[in-house]
Amino acid sequence: MFFRKRKNGPDIASISADIALRTAHIVHLTHNDFDAVGADAVHRIRFRKEGVVTLWSSVGKFPMYLEIISQIAGNGDTLSISDLSYRRGVEQHLRKIKQKGWRIEWRDHHRWNEDEIGLIRKIVDHLHIDTGRCACGICAVDLAPEDVIAEEIALVVCDYDLWKQKDPRSAVLGLVLQRNKNRDHVRDMLMMGVFDDGQIRSEYQDIMREMQRVMDRTLRAASILGTKYRMAVSPMFGYPSETAAYLRKELKSDIEVLVSDSGKFSIRSVPPISHLIAREFGGGGHPHAAGGFFRFTLWDKILLKILKKNRHFEKISVVAELQK
């Protein structure tokens, strides 16, 4: 249990085969969250006839997917990238992809600097960056401006992605999509303009139940430290944002720290000092939410597992107490 688990990465051979043997004319390379699912639904509305192959990618795996595509003939088909932002060095892959006969379109809402935009604009056929919309919203105005379903999908997704949270449908779908296995189903429903069905409901309730279990487990394991600030520190069992909020409510804490097996921790605080504390532990972030790293020995890991605490809990509390 103390060894790093070997991650089952994507199967490169089968992804290559899927793209090489495609009958569809659009390859949609996108992120793996709700925004991306909405963007994919919009693509499939727009390119119903042409057909779409979807590649869901984490931010980290993005260059690997480009590398794979750069080895496959495009035959005039389109690689459409969405909800993924510029990464240093991707231009080399994009040039190769162009040489292989692909068209490239890229739609994103993350912050790009002028140099990055200039560089990529020279290579791709279409680049649309807009930080004021979600990626799905950019796809909707670009690809299906007349389509009422696409418009509504974009509304619901942007509500979630840009933290407006006015539409109750977006909270449900956002949570349901924390399970990857729900992605294709939700996407297919969105395409039909359906935002809620039995499967979405039951997944939502199941996740809510699981989340409640995780939050209660974390609450039972929490240590309370500090005098100036009331700090709750606990091993991390999942759902960090929701759990931190729960600890704050149940324990009346000012600062919540959730520590994973590896020593990585996430911190939330009422006083605007999260980033200052995180900085002392090789991390950083925002005044009310940040993250850092404890250097764990094997013994630290064992204690965290068995006693639900170790010497680093005291250390971070001391650092917090020193903040103004």
Residues forming the site for Mn ion (CB under 5 A) = 35, 83, 135
| Residue 203 CB contacts under 8 Å (≥ 6 apart), including other chains | 176, 179, 182
- Report in angstroms how near the CB of residue 83 gets to Mn ion at its nearest: 4
Of residues 33, 1, 14, 4, the one with CA closest to residue 187: 33
- Report in angstroms how near the CB of residue 311 gets to Mn ion at its nearest: 39
- Report in angstroms how near the CB of residue 110 gets to Mn ion at its nearest: 7
- 231 within 8 A of 218, measured Cβ to Cβ: no
Cβ closer to Mn ion: 135 or 190? 135
290 three-state secondary structure: strand
- Report in angstroms how near the CB of residue 140 gets to Mn ion at its nearest: 13
Cβ closer to Mn ion: 36 or 236? 36
Sign of the C-alpha dihedral, residues 106, 43, 136, 85? negative
CA distance 251 to 243: 12
Amino acid at 115: D
Cβ closer to Mn ion: 26 or 136? 136
Residue whose beta carbon is closest to Mn ion: 35
- Report in angstroms how near the CB of residue 161 gets to Mn ion at its nearest: 5
Cβ closer to Mn ion: 83 or 254? 83
Cβ closer to Mn ion: 135 or 144? 135
- 156 within 8 A of 162, measured Cβ to Cβ: no
